[in-house]
């Protein structure tokens, strides 16, 4: 007689978890995030990796502790740290770097053995990240330095940043301003580019391809995981939904409503032609649109477990997306229907 199935997290050397839209939104924890991560840490080491370079790891770790997680400062890796590490590998110790962004950018540069400057004439490099107080003057100084030949590294190019009040312009908009002014292109170290995940893997003492990367953004978290050969868990607590997946090239390994999926067994989804079924449950998705979602019956989450629906939906949308133009159209129809149903996902639904 076999024992209970192992939690999904146990199959990996460690977990790298995104923050904004996954663990918290603004100052509030996302439902189930704290309890699920606390339990996951009993099985495998955790690291938190964020493209948001505005705060220091110590500030981020303090917020996580306030939410109820037991973490030390070293468990947080930021794109500013990845950028500073790259510059430190190229420049002599103490070289001057012009920093743009919140306090996290300057602190990362100093901790990497470099110095900061606001003078474009002194700057050997520019490290540009997001900050709530970034002004036109900051972008102007960065543009002057880059135009004069300074090495330019951007922490990330996320177009938006989730906050408690909604999405706001992200670092990508600030980087675009400097690019427009100079005609230059920065090297980007944050997700989906490999450096941030590689720094996180080093922090965990793990191989990058032995990690499970968790995130809400397909074009950064999930594509970034694939870039280093890591598996990924896409959670629907942040920016992207199934309609984004249907149009994306990202291929999440798993999908779930929330972080409780870390503790659940791997899903067992079987494809038969244009239907996808979670073995043994009778939950079947078909490629026929809203009325073909579950054995021809419109779905009601009072009857269907949302986390299982998301797992089967992932397999179905990815499968259809791969089936040429006709399949892509079917994927778009199915994705729209899934997003419509999952808008009513109950936050107190039991884990499966």
Relative to beta strand 14-17, strand 211-215 is: parallel
DSSP string, 26-63: TTEEPTTHHHHHHHHTTTS-EEEEES--SS-HHHHHHH
Q: Is 300 exposed, middle or buried (0-12, 13-18, 19+ CB in 10 A)?
A: exposed
Q: Is 212 exposed, middle or buried (0-12, 13-18, 19+ CB in 10 A)?
A: buried
Strands (E), 238-326: 254-256, 269-272, 275-278, 283-286
Structure tokens at 194: 């490999």
To the query of whether residue 18 is one of the catalytic residues in this protein, the response is yes
Q: CA–CA separation, 300 vs 304, rounded Å?
A: 6
Q: CA–CA separation, 93 vs 112, rounded Å?
A: 9
Q: CA–CA separation, 155 vs 177, rounded Å?
A: 15
Contact criterion met (CB below 8 Å) for 179 and 128: no
Instruction: Residue 132: name the closest of 168, 177, 86, 81 by CA.
Output: 168
Residue 345 sits at the vertex; the CA angle it makes with 343 and 350, to the nearest 5 degrees, is 170
Q: CA–CA separation, 204 vs 23, rounded Å?
A: 19
To the query of whether residue 231 is one of the catalytic residues in this protein, the response is no
Taking the chain, what is the end-to-end CA distance rounded to the nearest angstrom?
21
Structure tokens at 262: 């870390």
Q: Which of 18, 158, 216, 219 is catalytic?
A: 18
Q: Which of 20, 158, 219, 231 is catalytic?
A: 20
CB atoms under 10 Å from CB of 164, counted, come to: 9
Relative to beta strand 275-278, strand 269-272 is: antiparallel
| Residues assigned a catalytic role | 18, 20
């Amino acid at each position: 007689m076999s024992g209970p199935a192992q939690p999904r997290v146990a199959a990996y050397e460690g977990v790298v978890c995104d923050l904004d839209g996954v663990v918290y939104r603004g100052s509030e924890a996302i439902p189930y995030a704290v309890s699920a991560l606390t339990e996951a840490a009993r099985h495998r080491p955790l690291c938190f990796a964020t493209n948001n370079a505005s705060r220091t790891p110590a500030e981020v770790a303090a917020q996580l502790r306030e939410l109820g997680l037991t973490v030390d400062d070293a468990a947080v890796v930021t794109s500013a740290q990845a950028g500073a590490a790259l510059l430190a590998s190229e420049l002599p110790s103490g070289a001057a770097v012009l920093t743009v962004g919140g306090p996290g950018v300057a602190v990362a540069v100093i901790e990497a053995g470099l110095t900061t400057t606001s003078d474009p004439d002194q700057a050997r490099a520019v490290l540009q990240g997001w900050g709530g107080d970034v002004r036109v003057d900051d972008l102007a100084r960065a543009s002057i330095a880059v135009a004069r030949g300074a090495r330019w590294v951007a922490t990330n190019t996320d177009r938006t940043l989730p906050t408690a009040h909604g999405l706001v312009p992200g670092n990508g908009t600030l980087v675009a301003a400097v690019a427009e002014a100079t005609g230059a292109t920065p090297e980007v170290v944050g997700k989906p580019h490999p450096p941030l995940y590689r720094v996180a893997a080093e922090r965990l003492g793990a191989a990058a391809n032995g990690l499970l990367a968790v995130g809400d953004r397909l074009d950064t978290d999930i594509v970034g995981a694939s870039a280093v050969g890591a598996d990924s868990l896409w959670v629907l607590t942040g920016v992207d939904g199934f309609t984004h997946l249907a149009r994306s090239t990202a291929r999440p390994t798993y999908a779930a409503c929330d972080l409780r999926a870390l503790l659940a067994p791997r899903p067992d989804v079987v494809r038969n032609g244009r239907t996808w079924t979670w073995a043994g449950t009778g939950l079947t998705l078909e490629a026929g649109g809203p009325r073909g979602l579950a054995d021809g019956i419109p779905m009601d989450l009072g009857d269907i477990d949302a986390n299982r629906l998301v797992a089967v939906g992932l397999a179905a949308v990815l499968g259809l997306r791969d089936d040429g133009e006709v399949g892509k159209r079917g994927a778009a129809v199915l994705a729209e229907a899934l997003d419509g149903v999952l808008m009513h996902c109950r936050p107190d639904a039991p884990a499966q």
